Chain A
Amino acid sequence: MTDTANTHSGALGVDPMLTDAVNQILGDLATSEAVREAEAGDGFGRPLWDALAESGLTGVGIDEEAGGSGGTIADAAELVLQAARYAAPVPLAETVLLAGPALAAAGLAVPEGPLTVVSEPGALRATHDGDGWTVTGEAAFVPYARIAGHIVALAAAGGAKAAGGAKAAGGATAAGGATAAGGATAAGAGGLVLVVLPAVELTITPGSNFAGEPRDTVTAGGVRATAAAPAPEGWDAKGWRLRGALARSVQLAGALDRVLEMTVTHAKTRVQFGKPIVRFQAVGQLVAQLGEQVAAARMAAETGVLATAAGRPDEDVPIAKIITAEAATKGSAIAHQVHAAMGMTREHDLQLFTRRMWSWREESGGETVWATEFGSLVAEAGPGELWPLISAAR
Chain B
Amino acid sequence: MRFPPTTLTPAELELREEVRAFLAAELGDQAGRGVGVAGPHNPEFSRKLAKKGWVGLSIPKEYGGGGRTAVERFVVVEELLAARAPVGAHWVADRQSAPAILKFGTEEQRRRFLPAIAAGECFFAIGMSEPDAGSDLASVRTQAVRDGDGWRLSGTKVWTSGAHLNHFFAVLCRTSPADGDRHQGLSQLLVDLHSPGLSINPIITLDGGHSFNEIVFDDVYVPGEMLLGAEGQGWRQVTSELAYERSGPDRFLSTFGLFRTFVEVCGGRESDSVKAAIGRITARYRTLHGLTLSVARMIDQGGAPAAEAALAKDLGTNFEKEVAEVVRELAGLPPDPDATDPLGAALAAAIPMLPSITIRGGTTEILRSVAARELTR
Contact = CB atoms under 8 A, between A and B. Distances in A.
A197 to B, nearest CB: 34
Given A278-B376, A390-B286, A288 B78 contact: no
Contacts of B260: 383, 386-387
B253 to A, nearest CB: 9
A370 B264 CA distance: 21
B311 A288 contact: yes
A331 to B, nearest CB: 13
Nearest to B371: A288
A326 B277 CA distance: 13
B283 A299 contact: no
Contacts of B158: none
B263 A386 contact: yes
Interface string A275-309: 00010010011011101100110111011001000
Contacts of A300: 283, 287, 290
Given A285-B368, A291-B371, A379-B263, A389 B376 contact: no
B132 interface: no
A57 interface: no
B204 interface: no
Contacts of A372: 272, 275-276, 279
Given A11-B5, A376-B275, A288 B283 contact: no
A267 interface: yes
Interface string B323-349: 000000000000000000000000000
Contacts of A375: 274-280, 282
Main secondary structure of the interface of A (DSSP, over half): helix
Interface string B1-13: 1111101100001
Given A278-B376, A296-B315, A11 B371 contact: no
Interface residues of A, number: 54
Contact of A295 (B1, B78, B275, B282): B1
A112 to B, nearest CB: 34
A306 B8 CA distance: 13
Contacts of A370: 279
Nearest to A292: B315
Nearest to A8: B2
A252 to B, nearest CB: 14
Interface string B257-295: 001110110011000101111111011111111110010
A251 to B, nearest CB: 18
B365 interface: yes
Interface stretch (A45-53, A89-97, A315-323): A315-323
Given A378-B278, A387-B260, A285 B283 contact: no
Given A300-B287, A383-B263, A264 B376 contact: yes
A345 interface: no
Nearest to A306: B5
A289 B368 CA distance: 7
B40 to A, nearest CB: 19
Contacts of B314: 288-289, 292
B262 to A, nearest CB: 9
Interface string A359-394: 000000001101111111011101100110111111
B27 interface: no
Contacts of A383: 32, 260-261, 263-264, 267
A10 interface: yes
A268 interface: yes
Interface string B290-328: 110010000000000000000110110000000000000
A383 B294 CA distance: 26
A296 B291 contact: yes
B25 to A, nearest CB: 15
B255 to A, nearest CB: 13
B7 A393 contact: yes
A390 B3 contact: no
Interface in A193-211: none
A306 B268 CA distance: 31
A319 B278 contact: no
A285 B365 contact: yes
Contacts of B1: 291, 295
Interface string B193-228: 000000000000000000000000000000000000
B178 interface: no
Given A11-B4, A284-B368, A292-B311, 14 more contacts: A289-B368, A292-B371, A298-B3, A299-B287, A302-B5, A323-B283, A326-B280, A373-B279, A375-B282, A376-B275, A383-B261, A383-B267, A389-B286, A390-B282
29 contacts: A11-B2, A264-B375, A287-B372, A291-B1, A295-B312, A296-B284, A298-B3, A299-B3, A299-B291, A302-B4, A306-B7, A316-B286, A319-B283, A319-B287, A326-B280, A371-B279, A371-B280, A371-B283, A372-B276, A374-B283, A379-B267, A380-B267, A382-B263, A382-B264, A382-B267, A387-B32, A387-B82, A390-B82, A390-B285
Nearest 3 A-B pairs (CB), nearest first? A375-B279, A371-B279, A379-B267
Interface of A: 7-8, 10-11, 260, 264, 267-268, 278, 281, 284-285, 287-289, 291-292, 295-296, 298-300, 302-303, 306, 315-316, 318-319, 322-323, 326, 367-368, 370-376, 378-380, 382-383, 386-387, 389-394
